[in-house]
Structure 1
Amino acid sequence: MLQINKNVSLLAPTSILLFFSMAFTTINARIGVLPLPQPVVVDIDGDPVQVGVEYHLVSYIWGAGGGGLALGPNRNRTKICPLSVVQLPLDTLYGLPIRFFPVNHAPVGSRAVRTSTDYLLQFNSTGSDSSICGKEPIWKLDAFDESVGKYFISTTNVITTDMAYQFKIESVGGIPIGNYKLSYCPNVCSTCERVLCKDIGVDWDPTDVVRRLALTDDYPFVLVFLKASSVEQINAL
């Protein structure tokens, strides 16, 4: 009898813990558990990158790494819309200002841009030669180009409901904080079909000497954020 009572006393706490564990799992599944906020993206000065504020995205490697991002000739080698997103060849060229807007609602009370979060990327091309395609074109993933086996990044002024406009910012490990890469990997529901998920790199076309942005499996374009207002102030000096 004593042995039986001893076993019961040992099993009872285990059964109670198992019951509560299953109960909390059921509750969490019903109400949904909110994910922890992703890390905040910071600019070259260490300040949080803000939604709706303009930044230049430039190579983290000065000199041979090239300059910032801008609009350039499309794959047909014309300046007819849509234009391609390109990297300028010189590090003294900061490119066009870019703004970020969350695809879904941003965290309550926060305007900070965060990693691993879907954003719309919008150029401000006012006053530039590229404004023929609209003053504020949005980045867009083009259809697969079978001639070269790549997906390129272009722009548009017409947004539909598909996922071609959703881009992420990710931290790059192994190098100083403040260096990032861009990726295309839209957040979708768990039951949806698996989507394309790749980094964004620079594809150099020797036929027209243009550095176009394209999806890559190998070498992402590593960049830093420069607040546009700071760059304009320096250029004015």
Structure 2
Amino acid sequence: MAKKTSMLVIFSLAALFLLVSTGEAAALPGRILDTDGNPLKSRTAKYYISPVVQDNYGGLTAEYRTNGTYECPKFISQEDYSTLDGVTASFWPVDGRSSVRLATDLNVEFHEWNPCPEKPIWTLPATDRATGQRMVRYGGVIGNAGPETVNNWFRIQQSGKNYKLVFCPSVCKTCKAACADLGLYYQNGQRWLVLGGRPFEVKFKRFSK
């Protein structure tokens, strides 16, 4: 009788643990998975941001906008060849979680040698007069959520079975920030990451030494 009672207690505890675990998982915002099927990690983990559609262009990188000169800052662009992964990126969620969740405000930091004074952290400045586009570039900071940093916060959201990059910051309740997908703008044979247009669907490949 004692043995049956012990077994019943064990099964009951196991069922309770499963129920609680399932409930906690369901309560969290949606996970983002990398190309290996693992949850996307924040802060020190590094990833290549690659296009879902392979059309002879590669992952995201940073380039000078003026051909043949090195005029800072650098702007976010797409590699010219599909064999190139681009620059590794780290993600810094505003909620400080160790994993990156869907529709969470976050900073994006690139890791490369950067001679410019602007930090290699994404920001979205005002509309460029020459192109009429808001083009993502270096010059942001990590953290300090508020009116002064509202242009530094981006999101990763679901796009069918894939993911897309979005600018729709909620870190400042009184700010009138734009809210749109990030797409690609074509200029002089290069592709630049901009606000608006057809969503640029991406995947995340973990960098390993």
TM-score w.r.t. the length of structure 2 is 0.77
Query: 2: distance between equivalents of 1:83 and 1:194?
Result: 26
The answer to whether the aligner puts 1:37 opposite 2:28 as a matched pair is: yes
Residue in structure 2 matching 1:57, options 39, 49, 60: 49
RMSD across aligned C-alpha pairs, in angstroms? 2.2
Percent identity (aligned): 30
Query: 2: distance between equivalents of 1:166 and 1:189?
Result: 10
Question: One-letter code of the match for 1:95?
Answer: G
Q: 1:44 to 1:138 in 2, by over 3 A?
A: same
Query: 2: distance between equivalents of 1:158 and 1:189?
Result: 15
Bigger CA radius of gyration: 1
Residue in structure 2 matching 1:139, options 102, 109, 122: 122
Give SS of 1:132's match.
coil
Residue in structure 1 matching 2:95, options 85, 97, 105: 105
Moved runs in structure 1, 4+ residues, more than 4 A? 157-160
Residue in structure 2 matched with residue 86 of structure 1 by the alignment: 77
CA shift at 1:65, angstroms? 5.2
The answer to whether the aligner puts 1:221 opposite 2:200 as a matched pair is: yes
TM-score w.r.t. the length of structure 1 is 0.68
Give SS of 2:149's match.
coil
CA shift at 1:165, angstroms? 0.5
Stretch deviating more after TM superposition (139-148 or 113-122) = 139-148
Residue in structure 2 matching 1:166, options 144, 149, 153: 153
Report Cα offsets for 1:132-174 as digits up to 9, x if no partner.
Answer: 126961011021123322110010265673211100001112x
Query: 2: distance between equivalents of 1:48 and 1:59?
Result: 18
Residue in structure 2 matched with residue 201 of structure 1 by the alignment: 183
Residue in structure 1 matching 2:190, options 190, 207, 210: 210
Structure 1 stretches lacking a partner, 5+ long? 1-35, 233-237
CA shift at 1:202, angstroms? 1.0
Structure 2 stretches lacking a partner, 5+ long? 1-26
